[in-house]
Structure 1
Amino acid sequence: MVSVVVVTYNSERTVGETLASLTEQTYPDDRYDVFVVDGGSTDGTARIAADHGVSFLVAEGATIGECRNRGADAANGDYVAFTDSDCAVPATWLGDLVERIEAHAADESVVGVGGPNRPFPGDPAFAKLVGSLQGTVFGSGGSPQSHAIDEVRLVRSVAACNVLYDADVFEEFRYDDAVNVGEDAEFHFRLSEAGYRFVFDPTIAVSHHLSPTFGDFCTKNRSYGYAMARIQRRHRKVIRWYSALPSLALGGGTLAALADLRARKARYVPLLLLAFLVVSGYATARVYRDRRSPLALLVPAMLAAQYCLYGVGFLEGLTAPDPEPQDLP
């Protein structure tokens, strides 16, 4: 038995697509149920959920982490699967996830299985560009849910929009109710510290509405940087070694520019620009090979914005006041 949890908030434009994909599963109807956990929507989300006959739970004003916990608490399956209200899953999604996790039943360290998320075929061209950029190591930082990994392997974390857990894990561990962005990274970090792992299967992919505009892309990267800094401050540990690199690059670039100005000679800045050109050139070539579109020429600007905004958000997260402490397993 599998319980599927969909976390949502004001998602009337996309949640119907999500729920329709869940009703079309090849997995036996009597072996899965669907719970929608709503953070207090003011649009037609509740009506659309009712049209699909799923269980609808309201968690007014709750964070994403708290909504995920509400769903796990309501679940009654042997497994608990999560996807998001801006995603659509393939018809074989549940069956593939269950088959993959049960293939690792003998490994007690495996608590879940997940896969990548890709842009919808009908999404704007910019969203598809974002998806292709995330498929490069410089666009994703090497995270398995985005980076183009082509083999089944054990990983420390997967994206919560495409994951299935052994339900027993929630008897000891929970999402952090205080975390609204990056809640899956924080939860999976604690699981990995306890020695648990996920199976990543690149063939089990979900469709995900990625950033449709450059402005939305920038806003999300700033929020991701802020969230990662807050999470690492909470644990006083480095969760992802690359998360501080954009902030360090911003600081290093500023110092290099000041040094060149003081010396009245361009020494360091040209070297940094050359390094960026090499990185962005590689990413542009990869994205063009994937998209075959002249829009790949936007990749250097996208990378510059991603790293700068993530770095700014990370610095903001490091300097923001500490939240109330919370003890979690």
Structure 2
Amino acid sequence: MISVIVPTYNEEENIASCLESLCNQTLPRTAYEIIVVDGNSKDGSREIAAKYADQVFVQTSKKVGGARNDGAMAAKGEIIATTDADCYLPPDWLERIERDFADHPDAVQIYGLVFPKEKGIKNMLSLWAANLFSRLGYWTHSVYYTLGCNTAFRREAFMEIGMYHTIDAGDDLEIARRARRVGRVVLDTRLKVGFSMRRYEQFGTLKSLWEWIYIVVKGGESDKYSYSKREYK
């Protein structure tokens, strides 16, 4: 079984479409479970999620990484897949993850690329650059840019390496470094998810990237910028 972990926070406008895409996978619905871990939303996120998910509960650990860890602790699957509440998951997403682990018995983590949910050349170019960074990092064995919206782990390895560190940004880069100590981290360029560009459209691409880089350089924590639990218009 595959356990899909979806962190949420005030996502009533997005969570239904995300979970609908997860419920319409090419794998049988009995082959996977959906676990929504909510950051104590003030809107109807949990009530909406309960219509689709197998489990919905409020997180007890800190930050997005902590929400993913809480979900993994409650999971039944041998594979832990993670995505975000504002993403779109193509119908073959879980089937491809299952196949990737079967094709790579030594892999402990599989990750993929992203495409913009919102239209526009600027969004396309932004994610083209992000995907290029992912490819170059993988090909050069330098930076494994394993976005939390499109990654999966063997549960045993995920627990062995200590799960996600609960930091503000860069946790998806950091966990790959630890995963590589116990097995292969594999990029599947055909494993793609629809990624929301709302952060970049509302706060600006350069500003958002600068804040992310600043926090990562500071070791994942910063009093100057807050990268998680943003309020969107």
User: TM-score normalised by the shorter chain: which range applies?
Assistant: 0.7 to 0.9
Q: How far apart, in 2, do the equivalents of 1:177 and 1:216 lie?
A: 27
Report the AA paired with residue 173 of structure 2: A
Q: Do the aligned residues in 2 keep the contact of 1:15 with 1:48 (CA within 8 Å)? A: yes
2:72 pairs with 1:72: yes
2:190 pairs with 1:203: yes
Q: Do the aligned residues in 2 keep the contact of 1:65 with 1:178 (CA within 8 Å)? A: yes
Question: Deviations 1:53-91 (Å, cap 9, x if unpaired)?
Answer: 431020167311111110110111111111111111111
Identify if the C-alpha distance between structure 1 residues 200 and 19 changes in structure 2 by more than 3 Å, giving closer, same or farther.
same
The match for 2:229 is none
Normalized against structure 2, the TM-score is what? 0.83
Q: 2:173 aligns with which of 176, 185, 190?
A: 185
Instruction: State the 1:15 CA deviation.
Output: 1.4
Question: Deviations 1:129-188 (Å, cap 9, x if unpaired)?
Answer: 42234345xxxxx223xx799x9x998452111112111113312334531221111221
Aligned residues: 222
2:134 pairs with 1:143: yes
Identify if the C-alpha distance between structure 1 residues 43 and 143 changes in structure 2 by more than 3 Å, giving closer, same or farther.
same
Instruction: State the 1:46 CA deviation.
Output: 1.0
Q: How far apart, in 1, do the equivalents of 2:45 and 2:202 lie?
A: 27
Q: Do the aligned residues in 1 keep the contact of 2:3 with 2:79 (CA within 8 Å)? A: yes
RMSD, aligned CA:
2.8
Identify if the C-alpha distance between structure 1 residues 111 and 220 changes in structure 2 by more than 3 Å, giving closer, same or farther.
same
The match for 2:41 is 41
Q: How far apart, in 1, do the equivalents of 2:128 and 2:144 lie?
A: 23
Which one has a larger percent helix, Structure 1 or Structure 2? 1
The match for 2:154 is 166
The match for 1:130 is 126
Report the AA paired with residue 81 of structure 2: A
Alignment of 1:1-329 (within 5 A): 1-59=1-59, 62-105=62-105, 107=106, 110-120=107-117, 122-124=118-120, 126-136=122-132, 142-144=133-135, 156-192=144-180, 194-210=181-197, 211-213=199-201, 215-231=203-219
Instruction: State the 1:12 CA deviation.
Output: 1.4
Normalized against structure 1, the TM-score is what? 0.61
Instruction: State the 1:215 CA deviation.
Output: 3.1
The match for 1:252 is none
Q: Do the aligned residues in 1 keep the contact of 2:144 with 2:173 (CA within 8 Å)? A: no
Q: How far apart, in 1, do the equivalents of 2:31 and 2:176 lie?
A: 26
Q: How far apart, in 1, do the equivalents of 2:48 and 2:119 lie?
A: 21
Q: Do the aligned residues in 1 keep the contact of 2:78 with 2:155 (CA within 8 Å)? A: yes
The match for 1:257 is none
Q: How far apart, in 1, do the equivalents of 2:110 and 2:86 lie?
A: 20
Question: Deviations 1:178-231 (Å, cap 9, x if unpaired)?
Answer: 312211112212223x25322111111110012452733233213211221122
Which one has a larger percent strand, Structure 1 or Structure 2? 2
Q: Do the aligned residues in 2 keep the contact of 1:113 with 1:198 (CA within 8 Å)? A: yes
Partner SS for 2:73: helix
Tell me, which stretches of 5 or more residues in structure 1 are unaligned? 137-141, 235-312, 318-329
Tell me, which stretches of 5 or more residues in structure 2 are unaligned? 226-233
